[in-house]
Amino acid sequence: MIEDWIVWMAGGVAIIIVGVAFLKLKASERRMYENTHKLRIYTDLLNAITELNLAGGDAYKMDIAKRNLALTLNRLNLVGSTGVLKGVNDLLDFLNEHKEKDYDTLRLHNILNTLVIEARRDLNPSHARKVEEAQVRYRFFAPPKSR
């Protein structure tokens, strides 16, 4: 009788362990799936910003770049972390302040660095912390804005 009780208890514990492991695996899969989509949107954001920078005085390229940025921002608003969304707000404020004017490239680079740092924190906090401790500064191409 005691042996039967021990077998039932061991079976119950095994079922609980398998269940917990399954739930943890599913949670991990979900995080990976979400991060894959976030990475795509964060990459699209940086690409859209680059397109704005490269459009220069070409009105057609600028219209396409603005459209791509708008569509990316719509998707970003659905999945972006708080830090990324604040960085995007800073970027948009900066771009609106300097419409049709030259702008401070260093300030733009600082805003873009903040965006990358926040995106890295959102996607992989432990790796982001290591990179931040190394005091890495990200570099971006931003030609002077032509009038």
Tens of pLDDT, residues 33-70: 899 999 999 999 999 988 988 887 788 998 999 999 99
Query: What does R_g of the chain's alpha carbons equal in angstroms?
Result: 23
Confirm if 43 and 80 have CB atoms less than 8 A apart: no
pLDDT for position 88: 94
Whether the predicted pLDDT of 20 surpasses 70 = yes
pLDDT for position 43: 94
Provide the mean pLDDT of the chain.
87
Q: What is the mean pLDDT of residues 120-130?
A: 89
Whether the predicted pLDDT of 72 surpasses 60 = yes
C-alpha triplet 49, 113, 51: angle, nearest 5°: 10
pLDDT tier at 90, thresholds 50, 70, 90: very high
Q: What is the mean pLDDT of residues 120-143?
A: 83
Q: Where are the domains of the chain?
A: 31-133
Q: Is 138 exposed, middle or buried (0-12, 13-18, 19+ CB in 10 A)?
A: middle
Whether the predicted pLDDT of 141 surpasses 80 = no
pLDDT for position 147: 46
Whether the predicted pLDDT of 146 surpasses 80 = no
Tell me the C-alpha distance between 87 and 93, whole Å: 10
Q: Which of 136, 75, 74, 142 is nearest to 107 (CA)?
A: 142
Tell me the C-alpha distance between 123 and 137, whole Å: 18
Whether the predicted pLDDT of 145 surpasses 60 = no
Q: What is the mean pLDDT of residues 15-42?
A: 90
Q: Return the structure tokens found at 66.
A: 């603005």
